Every structure is written in C-alpha cells, then in structure tokens.
Chain A
Amino acid sequence: QSVLTQPPSASGTPGQRVTISCSGSSSNIGSNYVYWYQQLPGTAPKLLIYRNNQRPSGVPDRFSGSKSGTSASLAISGLRSEDEADYYCAAWDDSLSGLYVFGTGTKVTVL
C-alpha cells in the first residue's frame, strides 16, 4: 500500500554522506509535511525528522531533511556504524479521506 517510493538500499563508508530519496505525489508530499523514521535492527521506529527538516531533541545534526515539490530527501553526513538501519519517510495523504502513508523503506549499510 506504500505510495511513497524509496530506493531499497543505500550504502557508504564511515564519514561519507548518504542521501535517501522519497518520491510521492501532490496528495501527500506535495501538500503535506514529510517525516522520517529510523528503525535500528530489532527495534521500534524512532522519529528522526519532522515537518520536512526539523530534528527532535536528541537527534544529531548529522541528519537533515529537505523537500521539493512531490519529493523529499534525508541526508546523513559523517556516516557512522550506528547509522546502519532502515529509514522510512512518511506523510499524510489527502486522498481517501485521509491516510498516513509510509515509504517503502531504505536499508542503509555502513561498509
């Protein structure tokens, strides 16, 4: 049911910058805020970015979000081994009387 498309995988070496894309449509990303979640192996998702580019308290500034039109991106700079996780974008979708949709997810591997 995912209407937000992400690449299945991304990788980088420690210290590198990795970018994850999230593609949607006018009914979701195009008209609503984007949120990003990090899911470490075997754990529950954790809010990483809210309202396109804001970080909750405690989230390192190595993580940054952006949005343009119907797409969004999450960037991880200074990649660290503990960043190896699944990352999901999310947004409200105004179709079908309102639906919160998640992206397909991206597995980030630290080489």
Chain B
Amino acid sequence: QVQLQESGPGLVKPSQTLSLTCTVSGGSISSGGYYWSWIRQHPGKGLEWIGYIYYSGSTYYNPSLKSRVTISVDTSKNQFSLKLSSVTAADTAVYYCARVGYYGSGSYNPWGQGTLVTVSS
C-alpha cells in the first residue's frame, strides 16, 4: 500500500523559497505508470493544483504558479520535491503531495497527510 509523507520547514520568510519533500513508501516512483503531484489548500479554503512530475522528470505546472514553481524527482531516494520561490503571505497553506493515475489520469490517490507552511517574517 503506497503511502506519502510531506516534510520541510513549517515557517518561511517572505521573498524566500519554500522547499518541501514528499517521501513515497510501499511503491517505487521509478516503476512508472503514475505521476506525482503537489496540491495546496489555503487556510479554510479550497484546493489548488500546483503541478506534477513523472519519474522521467517531465513536469506540468499550474500556469498561475509556473514562473515560481519547480518540481523535481529523486528516484534513488524515492522522493519528489517542491520549490516555490519568492513566497508571500498568500502562499501560506497546507501543502499535500499525492499520487496521480491509479484510477485514471485525473485520480489523486492516495494523499499525504499534508504539512502547513506559514510565510511570515
């Protein structure tokens, strides 16, 4: 059973870069067949898709975040990562990682438990 776990700093200063890692267990990213994604949820708000990556390194990003987002993969560690540059308070959110594609290209399942990142000086 695949499980995902987010990790990274819970507090980031404005204008700095937010960096998070998602560790996958119970399955191998490099086996292919799935994409690996980041989604965020602003406090008390809805869900926003950030983007996803394939084990080969192919990426797809939300156009509204594309200029600031980088998603990368490290198959040797079975991890994928998110970097969001030039953060502001508007980037304060719970960040989730998820596997994409077990039940079709739009199925996000399972999800990590999420990690709250606060942008504040």
Contact = CB atoms under 8 A, between A and B. Distances in A.
A105 B60 CA distance: 24
B46 A51 contact: no
Contacts of B111: 44-46
Contacts of A46: 109-111
A44 B110 CA distance: 9
Give the size range of A's interface with the partner: 20 to 34
Interface string B35-75: 00000000000111100000000001011100000000000
Q: Is chain B's interface secondary structure helix, strand, loop, or mixed overall?
A: strand
Nearest to A55: B103
Give the size range of B's interface with the partner: 20 to 34
Interface in A77-111: 88, 90-92, 96-105
Contact of B46 (A33, A98, A99, A105): A105
